[in-house]
A and B are shown apart, each in its own frame.
Chain A
Amino acid sequence: MAVGGSTGTELSAGVPAELLVEAAELPAGIGPYRLAWRRLSRNHGALFFGVIFLVIVVLCLLAPVYSSDIAHTGPNDNHITEQIKIGGKLTYVVSTIGLPIGPTWHSKFFLGADPNGRDIAVRLLYGGRNSLEVGAVATLITIVLAAIIGIAAGYFRGWTDGLLMRALDVIWAFPVYILGVALGVSLAISGIGPLRGNSLMVPAFVIGVVFVPYVAKPIRGQVLGLREREFIDAARVQGLSHVRIMASEIFPNIASTIIVFIPLMLANSILLEAGLSYLGAGVQPPNPSWGTMIADGVANIPAAIHLVLVPGIMLVIAVLSINVFGDGVRDALDPRAKVRIAR
């Protein structure tokens, strides 16, 4: 656990010492994955949370169905001055002084409305889609970049390594939120290249880049160790190209590290997106995300606490389930876990 240290949380701590030390010791070969799967299937807690996460994903994917067949409104449709019937009584969705209605537990405004008279339940599901999409794309960016940089730096060593590591140091030493918000705010004005200012890809890109060092550094450390092993020497003697060696000899050996990082990065990316949204640089309005919904709700405290609670609890459950499941995956893949199971 705790791979990646304090990544994506309030602060960017360094790569934990623990990881640097043990990263180089994951096993090679085919067997481990089957073994890992067997271990994971015995870890009921991790599986339970894995299922919860799957349920959340499916619910969010079904957002359009909920929107059109149950709530009969879109995520950005305003119903400020409309009235709805609750228990036979007509009630304003938003009162004349701007107070939105709380949970009705009916098909319309199941979880209440926001000050714009938008259906919170619909926005929660669409927001989940956006949060998960940002998280997934950011994780993909992080993992791909980190794998390329980490492998190249560890394999070539010398000036390539020096240059890449210094570049990572620059990102790493940046205060995560300041870098994220700075990029987010400046890109929101006019975007850059193909990135439009209000695209979901802006926060995804920002988050993806910010986290690269946390993954690339341990991968590099592991590759540095692998490089000294005989089978790499053997490949080199056979005259295989560098790219070939990196792709077919080194990559399979770090794949388990990458797998361990995926859930962690996903959880942290979703958290960072929420933080950036709170500071005004995440998913751009009127599109919802869990982060922007909480941020809007915080601004409305104590008017309507459901605006904070609904997306907040959802976010915590989602991130928690990824974290617990991810921890299970790590335990399953980490050979040291054997020690713990033996106890």
Chain B
Amino acid sequence: MRKHPRSALTLALAAVSVIVLAACGSSSKSSSSSPATGKASGSITITYGTAPDTLDPDAFQTTQAGEADQPVYIPPYTYAETNGIAGTQIIPGLATALPQISADGKTYTFFFRKGLRYSTGQPVHTSDFLTAVERSIKIPWPLGSAFLVPLIVGAKDYESGKSNTVSGITTNDATGQVTIHLTAPYGAFENALAFQAYSPLPKGTPMKDLSSNPPPGVGPYKFSSVVPNVSYTEVKNPYWTPIPGIQSGYANQIVAKISSNTTASALSVLNNSNDVFDWADTIPPSLLPQIQSQASDRYQKLKLNSTYYFFMNQKAKPFSSMLAREAVIVGLNRPALARLGSGFFTPGCFFLPPLMVGHPPSSCPFGDPNSTGDIAKAKMLVQQSGMAGQPVTVWGEERSPRRQFVDYYTSFLNQIGFKATEKIIADATYFPTVGNLKLNAQTGFDDYNQDFPNPIDFYGLLLAGDAITPTGNLNHSQVNDPVINSKANQLGTLFKLPTSSLGSASSQWTTLDEYTAAKAYEAVFGYLEAPEFVSNRIDQSALVFQPINGYWYNTFKLK
């Protein structure tokens, strides 16, 4: 996938050197500014088109924030700092080893490392883990509420105020032991323990979103200044105690600048006055030829685990008819949509994205996604479905290119025989609006970016019947298929599987995803790609991009 794939050997060497250096670091009890690795100097600037929603680890929802928080807040578990699919493997972070899971899959036990300190110098207590969990529930952190509150014993009572602690979690400051009881087995719980929200925080951290003054964490970097929506700076954490597998960081300082002018940002990286272009931004198409000719060695496309689709509400005309849904899927011009996304798009038809375990390698049930769409057949299917001339309101959000996707989609629906009108609303209100069941939105833009590399993330929230909720609904198509419900539920609870391959469950997920595609439940049109674009100062052989939270800041290295 990447331009600089590293061999197993270099990887192994890198791991060894990290361990050796870690040993050095801890023996010298370095708490001053002396960096743990050899070549560490300078300041690196990364440009962002969108500001992080908040830098508070217990409140954020965007990749921009996750990326910033990743080197500051290390959770009990984390992901291997490796490019590609290997980077989705769970490794111990602040915990000493992978958790012990009881036979019924409902009890997780692990130990915190000794001698950990926050960036303020305060020691980390094991019970601080509970503080973080409780804080994420009280703030509340939406993802946690969606996944984990129902899962952890006692979390619901704590959320509703019936109890003043989460009874299902016990911690022991003396031994470092943490025990977590779950209400049901959940295959992706190790991934949950790798959320930054579950990185320990000092007791007494205010139970509210501290976006402009984020709390101290345990990680190789700490925030030194935050100017909301304008910039933030991270510097080396003087109290960082190296942990195997986690790079201690190269640059002394990482400055993030926020500017909505992506043209200016891309040009600044091209002329090397800034160092990293945020992968979540789009490089303006007019600059691409220039970048490809002048800087082809420091520009490439990255694949992401992000599916883009149009939801089609099964509970309302016209998409209650399978033929009508099929018409959309048959006729969609996916290459056209890819162009609207400046070419940063892989056309596809399956719900699980390509880097996700279970993504079917088979061909699409309704024609080649790389074709420009069979309009004639789509028209015929609409006629057959009896839904021709049905009024359809197409929902979309303001930001580019999402609005352009919906502009195309509306025009397309009119072309194949529906009577479509477009409804574009502000980004901030889009998902809450279409996620309100009362609206019963017929169709519209939808996307999902993985929270963790397990298909249950997609199926559990976006396609399962029990995910249909009156508000905050993510199953916009209101799919409620017994086959999907039971199979996803069963596969989702399988635990003790290797987190990066899911072993035996993998092929079953593939079968399920093929079934979903054959039922024409969602009009998937493709998977997002992202630009990796850096200045000539950056050592790309050290750089690690991981599709969950993006770049590991601690792998930004100057040549």
Contacts and interface: CB of A to CB of B under 8 A. Distances in A.
A286 B411 contact: yes
Contacts of B336: 78, 80-81, 94, 117
Interface in B407-443: 407-408, 410-412, 414-415, 421-426, 429, 433
Interface string A52-65: 00000000000000
Contacts of A43: none
Contact of A303 (B286, B401, B414, B433): B286
Interface stretch (B337-345, B458-466, B501-509, B541-549): B337-345
A104 interface: no
Given A97-B288, A198-B422, A280-B426, A77 B411 contact: yes
A299 B426 CA distance: 16
B451 interface: no
B410 A286 contact: yes
B343 to A, nearest CB: 4
A81 B372 contact: yes
B218 to A, nearest CB: 41
B421 A198 contact: yes
Given A80-B339, A81-B372, A94-B339, A299 B411 contact: no
Contact of B429 (A94, A117, A189, A284): A189
B367 interface: no
A217 to B, nearest CB: 33
A55 B404 CA distance: 32
B75 to A, nearest CB: 38
A48 to B, nearest CB: 38
B339 A96 contact: yes
B285 interface: yes
B407 A78 contact: yes
A99 B411 contact: no
A115 interface: yes
B263 interface: yes
A300 B372 CA distance: 25
A301 interface: yes
A36 interface: no
B339 A286 contact: no
A285 B408 contact: no
A98 B263 contact: no
Given A81-B333, A189-B425, A284-B422, A116 B407 contact: yes
A188 interface: yes
Interface in A283-337: 284-286, 299-304
Interface residues of B, number: 37
Most-contacted residue by chain A among B285, B287, B403, B412 (CB, 10 A) = B285
Interface string B229-265: 0000000000000000000000000000000000100
Contacts of B425: 188-189, 197
Interface string A17-54: 00000000000000000000000000000000000000
A81 B335 contact: yes
Given A98-B285, A98-B340, 12 more contacts: A81-B372, A94-B336, A97-B339, A98-B342, A98-B343, A115-B404, A116-B407, A116-B408, A189-B425, A189-B426, A284-B422, A303-B284
29 contacts: A76-B407, A77-B415, A78-B407, A78-B411, A78-B412, A80-B333, A80-B339, A80-B340, A81-B333, A81-B372, A96-B339, A97-B285, A97-B342, A98-B339, A115-B339, A116-B340, A116-B407, A116-B408, A185-B426, A197-B423, A198-B423, A285-B406, A285-B424, A286-B411, A300-B284, A302-B263, A303-B284, A303-B286, A304-B286
Interface of B: 263, 284-288, 333, 335-336, 338-343, 372, 398, 400-401, 403-404, 406-408, 410-412, 414-415, 421-426, 429, 433
